[in-house]
């Protein structure tokens, strides 16, 4: 291994050997997961130039590292920063622009592989023990909409206040499906996520009493 002296004074050099593992089937049998194993080998003669090129699976891993996934931006009604009320429907959504596929490419001479992350759903955690999974970004609250109406896609109704000086932490997590293609091969990685959070004050709604 590099750093050891068993080859001191000998002709040769250490090289990183990358070997593709067997293709593994994940949750989706149509999207096999490709992995590799690396170790160090001592060679007295350099390997042919073609053998120094990374495998498609190694390029795919590099392409995955280059992905710049979008971070959620939480929107709600009432909007973030304003208190929510117990028993009143809260609408939650993300701007449509954060829910679009993202790609990145890793290349070497004569070969390139592209990794693509596609958003599949948004997981909302409302901080009071309630979590929901939405297929898309949710529905924005319409201008002039009924404040008592429930969101048709993603929303929540708190049943308890956050207490005096307390808050609930609302988080939105985009779930990404990551695949790759190039050099005549395709595969998939484990899913990736990006998350954002907001502190929300939930107050007890007060009844208004008027004189007769």
Q: Are strands 155-157 and 168-182 parallel, antiparallel or unpaired?
A: unpaired
Element housing 171 (H / E): strand 168-182
Into which CATH architecture does domain 55-203 fall?
Sandwich (2.60)
CB 12 within 8 A of CB 43: yes
On whether the pTM is more than 0.75, the answer is: no
14, two tokens: 């250490």
- Judge whether residue 169 has pLDDT over 90: yes
- Judge whether residue 126 has pLDDT over 80: yes
Task: Please compute the mean of the pLDDT values over residues 180-195 and round it to a whole number.
Answer: 95
Q: Read off the pLDDT of residues 44-102 as tens digits, 9 standing for 90 and up.
A: 776 665 556 788 998 999 999 999 999 999 999 988 889 999 999 999 999 989 999 99
What Cα–Cα distance (Å) separates residue 15 from each residue in 4, 18, 21, 62, 108? 14, 10, 19, 19, 18
> What is the pLDDT of the chain when averaged over all its residues?
84
Output the pLDDT for position 53: 73
Q: Read off the pLDDT of residues 13-46 as tens digits, 9 standing for 90 and up.
A: 766 666 666 545 455 544 445 556 767 777 777 6
Domain ranges of the chain: 55-203
pLDDT cut 70: percent of the chain above it: 77
What's the gap between Cα 155 and its chain centre?
A: 21
């Amino acid at each position: 291994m590099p750093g050891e002296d068993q080859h001191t004074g000998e002709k040769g050099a250490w090289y990183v050997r990358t070997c593709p593992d067997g293709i593994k089937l994940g949750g989706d049998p149509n999207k096999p997961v490709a992995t590799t194993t690396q170790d160090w080998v001592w060679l007295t003669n350099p390997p042919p130039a073609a053998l120094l090129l990374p495998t498609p699976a190694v390029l795919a891993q590099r392409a995955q590292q280059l992905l710049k996934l979008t971070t959620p931006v939480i929107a709600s009604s009432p909007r973030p920063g304003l208190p929510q009320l117990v028993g009143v429907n809260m609408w939650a959504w993300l701007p449509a622009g954060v829910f679009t596929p993202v790609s990145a490419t890793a290349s070497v001479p004569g070969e390139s592989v592209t990794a693509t992350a596609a958003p599949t759903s948004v997981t909302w955690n409302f901080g009071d023990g309630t979590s929901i999974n939405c297929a898309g970004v949710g529905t924005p609250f319409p201008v002039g909409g009924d404040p008592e109406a429930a969101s048709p896609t993603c929303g929540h109704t708190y049943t308890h206040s956050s207490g005096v000086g307390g808050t609930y932490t609302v988080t939105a997590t985009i779930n990404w499906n990551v695949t790759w293609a190039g050099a005549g091969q395709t595969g998939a990685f484990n899913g990736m996520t990006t998350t954002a959070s907001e502190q929300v004050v939930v107050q007890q709604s007060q009844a208004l009493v008027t004189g007769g």
